[in-house]
Structure 1
Amino acid sequence: MKKERELTPREIVAELDRYIVGQAQAKRAVAIAMRNRWRRMQIEGPIKEEIYPKNILMIGPTGVGKTEIARRLAKLTNSPFIKVEATKFTEVGYVGRDVESIIRDLVHVAVQMVRAEEEKKVLAKARENAEERLVDLLLPKTSTRVEYDPLTREKMLKMLRSGALNDRVVELEVELKPPQPTIEILAASGLEELEMQLREMFSAFLPLKGKKRKVKVAEALEILTKEEASKLIDMDRVVREAIQLTETSGIVFIDEIDKIASRGEGYGPDVSREGVQRDLLPIVEGTTVNTRYGMVRTDYILFIASGAFHISKPSDLIPELQGRFPIRVELSPLSKEDFVRILTEPENAMIKQYQALLKVEGVELEFTREAIEEIAQIAYDLNQKLENIGARRLYTVLEKVLEEVSFNAPDIAPTKVLITREYVREKLGEIISQEELAKFIL
């Protein structure tokens, strides 16, 4: 499995710039963190074990790119990534999910990633084996065990590979996993893993069942290829690699960490909030977590926490947890100019997405520069007047502007639609002028 690509901090920032507008400080911080992780891997000797990742705390309002920076970073570096909300977890002893489930879920993501890589490696061989099995199904059965000559099989294989047999129906036996026994343990923290292990144990006693299905050849080939690939993959090696990948390259993004910051004097719900922080502490600073795949060390996993900190502030977190996030990055609210860039510049820019969607119907969508600036201005003004939801406001505004075009697209295609400033004002003017109405619609 390929580890972090050897990207320099400048290259990482340039890659992030392709998808995320602004927030240069946050991009630099994560780029340095990833490069330091690569540098650590190059070090020989005992000091390597002493170098721990510097976890990052991102502070900024919703919709400014905190989650997207972490997600794009993980994709860029082929790292196992998981996003969790801090508010979903409860202190050990309370009903709810415990924080160790974060690591269990992260390992599962890594196993899926490594397995997908292994499947690519064995795909050619698996496809070949699947084709041979499919030829056996396609050749007519005889009462006597007659072996077909190689020329007949070769001819059938050529027809299969050319797609000439795709619409023929074959009957094949598909392996079905035994039904999961309904075992439920009261969801006290820490018992989710026990529940999973009990289910697996009972499943082992139930025989694998086969079910006969009639499917077209094209679908049968996919089903058989997956079955053959599973036989060729060494799952023990996959699990070993996945655990190693998690320990050295895992990224955990903890959102809404400001919601578990204590603001009181140790009574009411703040007690449980502080309990979650104390449970997070050993995982962030480095511990060993027992998962269904084996023991996983969290010492070198990179943790990125984020929060708006409107009501609380980072100093409201318990001091020990504050110390585990030494890099603080403040993300700035988005301006009108940022909105214009978000609409047009990134590779997955919102306007490009809508143009691609409507092109499917044969409608060519074009925006004038003035229309884009008007949409950006309206989104910015709404964020100032109502709740500031950052770039997500652009989706709300664009949906309303393009509602009629999207609805009528099948009837008016093929055609070209030009969105002008006047068109935008016509669609949104009445709603914006009535602030109470805007609260509900935009």
Structure 2
Amino acid sequence: MSKKEIALTPKQIVKELDKYIIGQSSAKKNVAIALRNRWRRMNTKSELKEEIMPNNILMIGSTGVGKTEIARRLAKLADAPFVKVEASKFTEVGYVGRDVESMVRDLVEQAIHMVKVQKKEEVREKAEGIVEEIILDALIPPIKKTPARTGFQSASETNSFENETAPKTDEELNEKTRERFREKIRNGELDDRKIDIDIKAPSNPGIGMIGGGMIDESSMINLQDMLSGMMPKKSKKRKVTIADAKKILLDEEASKLIDFEEVKEEAVQKTENTGIIFIDEIDKIAASSNKQGADVSREGVQRDLLPIVEGSSVTTKHGVVNTDHILFISAGAFHVSKPSDLIPELQGRFPIRVELDNLTESDFLKILLEPKNALTKQYEALFDAEEVTLEFTEEALKQIANIAFEVNAEVENIGARRLHTVMSKLLNDFLYEVPDEIGPNAKLIITDDMVSEKLAGLVKNKDLSRYIL
């Protein structure tokens, strides 16, 4: 478990989530408890450690109220591998779709990436030294040292050795030149100079069908990896700037320094103990009471998901992963169906049910003002890149929140995503005019009158298909 996660109590987790998500205190409280319970299980001295199962969560709420964002921010907070999947992508055997086990494989790949990044950071300093030597060799190739001479030395040779400031041999002159260039490389003075470097490109054999039939995803991955390992790695020469060479070679050399077997072992443990899988649109696979046609297929998807959520062993190319302690968070709007339409076994695997509230007009205003990544701050950053200052008056923000709320009520409730539609409609003309007509050092102040003018008719017009994201 990460140190960051260990340090956070449930209240602190909620406080961190509050920085990005407005409202939904019940959902935040439940995910905070679920996250802290993982640390509690890992640190318990009880013999029941392996018996303590995570309380999976079912989030019920309209689109755009923060379901996905809560799960994503929670994973980032915990430094945990995270995968979002849509339940409708999975189908039972006989229908076109993805194998349900693929979400666990995707989670392992996320964990592998996270562990590799961590390991590469640990060996970064050593890798930078190796890269420096490679670039230096390309600029100033080293001269092999000649054997030292012994025996009688002439007077002129003796005098030259007394002059310690001058290079004694070609090798020493070469070394002094290399040291000067080493300093220039470190200071970035040569970043624009181009050099030739060798880059190893791994072979990637393409396999489609074997024996006239398609093979399953797991076997395909393993077979491709095996053949890729057997094929000789090709090396190609590229002419790149020293700045680019530093990035390319650093990644390559750092990869050579880390033990990939250790990475795989840590990644599997990280997946099993801290992994989070977010299953979205679970309401789309809820079957109605009249089980005919498509409903049979939906129930089949649920039965395929059941063993993964219950806890089973999944074979991946990095090893066998046990899903017993992976935290599953599912979400759905449940406008047409209801949670009780899910098969009882699957319902039982999501004991914590949280209903997320629809966003009010005041929530929209808070979303525009409070989060660290508020939409207003994002647009201010975009204009700042053109050296243009963007400001919103308080009344303008209230007007934007009011229009977003009304459009959701009149047309279709897409939650906070409606603000993207409204803000885009409001600011697109200005974004188009910068920098041609609105030059650097200009100041744009968005007033309530300007909002009313730009968004006139947006609420009245019932046919808003071109504005809906």
TM-score bucket of the superposed structures, by smaller chain: over 0.9
Over 3 Å counting, the alpha-carbon distance change for 1:32 and 1:290 in structure 2 is: same
Q: 2:177 aligns with which of 117, 133, 152?
A: 152
Structure-2 residue corresponding to 1:345:
370
The alignment status of 1:391 with 2:416, answered yes or no, reads yes
Per-residue CA distance 1:298-329 (angstroms, 9 max, x = gap): 00000000000000000000000000000000
Which residue identity is paired with 1:70?
A
**In the alignment, is residue 51 of structure 1 matched against residue 52 of structure 2?**
yes
- Matched position secondary structure for 2:64: coil
2: CA distance, partners of 1:55 / 1:197: 31
Shift of 1:204: 2.5
1:48-197 aligned within 5 A: 48-140=49-141, 147=171, 149-184=174-209, 191-197=216-222
Question: Please, which moves more after superposition, 162-171 or 176-185?
Answer: 176-185
Alignment of 1:308-327 (within 5 A): 308-327=333-352
Q: Cα distance 1:246–1:187, how it changes in 2: closer, same or farther (>3 A)?
A: farther
Q: 1:27 to 1:280 in 2, by over 3 A?
A: same
Residue aligning to 1:217: 242
Alignment partners' CA distance in 2, 1:125 and 1:430: 62
Q: Tell me if 1:373 matches 2:428.
A: no
Find the partner of 2:450 among 423, 427, 437.
423
Q: 1:94 deviation in Å?
A: 3.2
Q: Which amino acid aligns with 2:49?
A: K
Q: CA deviation digits over 1:206-245, x for unaligned, max 9?
A: 2111111111111112222112101101000000000000
Distance 1:142 1:240 in 2: 43
Give the whole-Å Cα distance in 1 for the aligned partners of 2:310 and 2:233: 43
Shift of 1:189: 9.8
C-alpha contact 1:95 1:188 (8 A) present in aligned 2: no
Query: 1:188 and 1:386, CA in 2 relative to 1: closer, same or farther beyond 3 A?
Result: farther
Structure 2 counterpart of 1:2, one-letter code? S
SS at match of 2:389: strand
1:177-210 per-residue CA deviation (whole Å, 9 max, x = no partner) reads 1133243469999811111122222223321111
Partner in structure 2 of residue 42 of structure 1? 43
AA aligned to 2:129 is: E
Which stretch has the larger CA shift, 229-238 or 156-165?
A: 156-165
Secondary structure at the aligned position of 1:429 is classed as: coil
Aligned with 1:257 (options 252, 266, 282): 282
The equivalent residue for 1:410 is 435
Q: Secondary structure at the match of 1:433?
A: coil
Measure, in 1, the Cα distance between the counterparts of 2:467 and 2:206: 46
TM-score, normalization by structure 2: 0.90
Spell out, residue by residue over 1:35-68, the C-alpha distance to the aligned partner (whole angstroms, 9 max, x if none): 1111111112421111100000000000000000
| Cα separation, partners in 2 of 1:95 and 1:113, compared to 1, 3 Å | same
Count the aligned residue pairs. 441
169-178 vs 66-75, which moves further: 169-178
1:218-297, aligned counterparts within 5 Å? 218-297=243-322
* Structure with larger Rg: 2
Q: Which moves more between the two structures, 260-269 or 281-290?
A: 260-269
Task: Report deviation, 1:153.
Answer: 2.5
User: How far did 1:435 drift?
Assistant: 2.0
How far is 1:165 from its partner? 1.5
Distance 1:318 1:376, change over 3 A: same
Report which stretch shifted further, 252-261 or 161-170: 161-170
Q: Which runs of 5+ in 2 are unaligned?
A: 147-169
- Equivalents in 2 of 1:353, 1:382: separation in Å? 22
Are residues 44 and 339 of structure 1, via their aligned partners in 2, closer, same or farther at CA, if it must alter by over 3 Å?
same
Show structure 1 runs of 5+ residues with no match.
none
**Aligned Cα root-mean-square deviation (Å):** 2.0
Answer whether contact 2:208 2:214 (CA < 8 A) is retained. no
CA spacing shift, 1:186–1:20, aligned 2, 3 Å:
farther
Q: CA deviation at 1:147?
A: 4.9
Segment of structure 1 superposing worse, 195-204 or 394-403: 195-204
More off after superposition, 171-180 vs 304-313: 171-180
C-alpha distance in structure 2 between counterparts of 1:187 and 1:127, whole Å: 49
Residue 364 of structure 1 aligns with which residue?
A: 389
Q: 8 Å contact 2:203–2:232 — kept in the other structure?
A: yes
Residues 115-149 of structure 1, C-alpha deviations (whole Å, 9 max, x = no match): 00001111110001110111111115779997565
